[in-house]
A and B are shown apart, each in its own frame.
Chain A
Amino acid sequence: MSKFKKKKSGDLPAISTASLPDIVFMLLFFFMVATVMRQNTLMVQNKLPFADQVEKLDKKDLIMYIYAGKPSKRYQAQYGTEARIQLNDKFASVEEVQQFIYAERESKREELIPYLTTALKVDEETNMGLVSDIKQELRKAEALKINYTTVVGDAQQNVE
């Protein structure tokens, strides 16, 4: 009978930390599921303009990103300060936009192609000349659904 007898001692038993990994794993799984990895490293300055009449862009796999703006500080020595287009991870010329769209379409399933949207992430100081050149190329490539990505805020702040 003495086998089941508890030892009587005065000091408190240590708190079991055995369930700590479970708690941490739970958090870990939450963040793993919620995570979307940044696809591209930005090589251009990208301060987006403000707007308040916005729509949300869900379904990240159906979006093609086109970045434009002045090259970042560390690339300015090499590429100058003139605004440029960035596709995937490198600078590109206007003519390469069509190629990029075709390549992106190629990588998607056929039934999803009509739902593809092009997100233009353009720095607010860029001239409209470059943006309209991109738009002309998109029209030639028949990628007609576009979205000007903005930050939610009062549009009045853009002109100040």
Chain B
Amino acid sequence: MAKRSAPEVNAGSMADIAFLLLIFFLVTTTIETDSGISRKLPPWQPEEVEPPVIKQRNIFTVLVNSNNQLLVEDEEMELSELKEAAVEFLDNGAGTGDEACSFCQGAKDPNSSVNPQKAIISLVNNRGTEYGTYIAVQNELVAAYNQLRDREAQRMYGMTFTQMEKNYNDPNYNGNKDVLKEKIDVITNMIPQKLSEAEPTS
């Protein structure tokens, strides 16, 4: 008896099936990841705690009203000027003795902050403030901190702070991460992000 070969299965429609699946996944794919401004909230304190006494000169108040207008240190200000004003405040470095700031390049105004470690930015917004404005203000203040940190990191380690953080979070970075972490810690200790948010006024 002649050996009969098995009939060949027609695979011509396989491509159609695969295309169908491919198009489905093409449509449902979202490759981009979310990004945003990360913050840490203060822990909840049920009873009223006496706030620590902070010298007025070390506080930089930013008020945002319900018409999205800014009042910075009792003066009206445009959003575009906020970053510069915040940098000026943080970098003032008028302290002497224990509070002296070795790296500040500011004007050493006796009515402004003594040291970036002592300086606090206080942000108060109204319940009617738009979220977009709030984010813009947050963004400018974070930008002010980053600008100072970049400057100091560049001076001390020849690399900007943002680049250092980027390298640290990069899993493919082939430098020494422990050394990098130490450097990042030094910079964050020099210029800590002290951004306080009060409960909104109504």
Specify which of B14, B36, B43, B129 is in contact with A127 (CB 8 Å cutoff): B129
Which of A28, A38, A147, A155 is most buried by chain B, counting CB atoms within 10 A of its CB? A155
Q: How many residues of B contact A (CB 8 A)?
A: 50
A interface residue count range (under 10 / 10 to 19 / 20 to 34 / 35 or more): 35 or more
Instruction: Please state if B128 and A55 are interface contacts (CB–CB under 8 Å).
Output: no
Determine if B142 is an interface residue (Cβ-Cβ < 8 Å): yes
At the interface, yes or no: A12 with Cβ under 8 Å from chain B? no
Stretch at the interface among B22-30, B93-101, B110-118, B182-190: B22-30
A49, A131, A142: the one within 8 Å of B44 (CB): A142
Residues of chain A contacted by B174 (CB below 8 angstroms): none
- Taking a contact as CB atoms under 8 Å apart, the answer to whether A155 and B130 are in contact is no
Name the CB-closest residue of A to B13: A21
- Nearest opposing residue in chain A for B46, CB measure: A140
Give A121-157 as 1s and 0s: 1 = Cβ < 8 Å from B's Cβ atoms. Answer: 0111111110110011011101111111110100110
A127–B33 CB distance below 8 A: no
B35 pairs with A54, CB closer than 8 A: yes
For A36, list chain B residues within 8 Å (CB).
29-31
Residue from the set B21, B136, B140 with the largest chain A CB neighbour count within 10 Å: B136
User: Contacts A21-B14, A38-B28 hold; do A148 and B37 have CB atoms under 8 A apart?
Assistant: yes
Q: Write the chain A residue with the least CB distance to B134.
A: A128
The answer to whether B42 and A139 touch across the interface, beta carbons within 8 angstroms, is yes
Q: Kindly identify, within residues 29 to 81 of chain A, every residue whose CB is under 8 Å from any CB belonging to chain B.
A: 31-32, 34-38, 49-58, 60, 63
**How far is it, in angstroms, between the C-alpha of A34 and the C-alpha of B26 when the chains are bound?**
10
Per a CB cutoff under 8 Å, which of B29, B41, B125, B135 touches A34?
Answer: B29
Tell me the complex Cα distance, A21–B96, Å.
Answer: 75
Q: Which residue of B lies closest to A83 (CB)?
A: B131
Pairwise interchain contact B21-A28, C-beta atoms closer than 8 A: yes
Determine which residue in B43, B134, B202 has the highest number of CB atoms from chain A within 10 A of its CB, and name it: B134
Asked if B15 and A128 make an inter-chain contact with CB atoms under 8 angstroms apart, the answer reads no
Inside 8 A of A145's CB, which chain B residues have their CB? 38, 40-41
Q: Does B143 contact A (CB under 8 A)?
A: yes
Give B6 Cβ to nearest chain A Cβ, in Å. Answer: 17
Q: How far is the CA of A53 from the CA of B43 in the complex (A)?
A: 24
CB neighbours (8 Å) of B136 from chain A are 49-51, 155-156, 158-159
CB distance from A41 to the nearest CB of B (A): 13
Question: Given known contacts A21-B18, A24-B19, is B38 in contact with A158 (CB within 8 Å)?
Answer: no
Subset of 9 A-B contacts with CB under 8 Å:
A20-B15, A28-B18, A37-B28, A51-B36, A51-B136, A55-B36, A119-B34, A128-B200, A139-B44
A: residues with CB less than 8 A from B are: 17-18, 20-21, 24-25, 27-28, 31-32, 34-38, 49-58, 60, 63, 117, 119, 122-129, 131-132, 135-136, 138-140, 142-150, 152, 155-156, 158-159
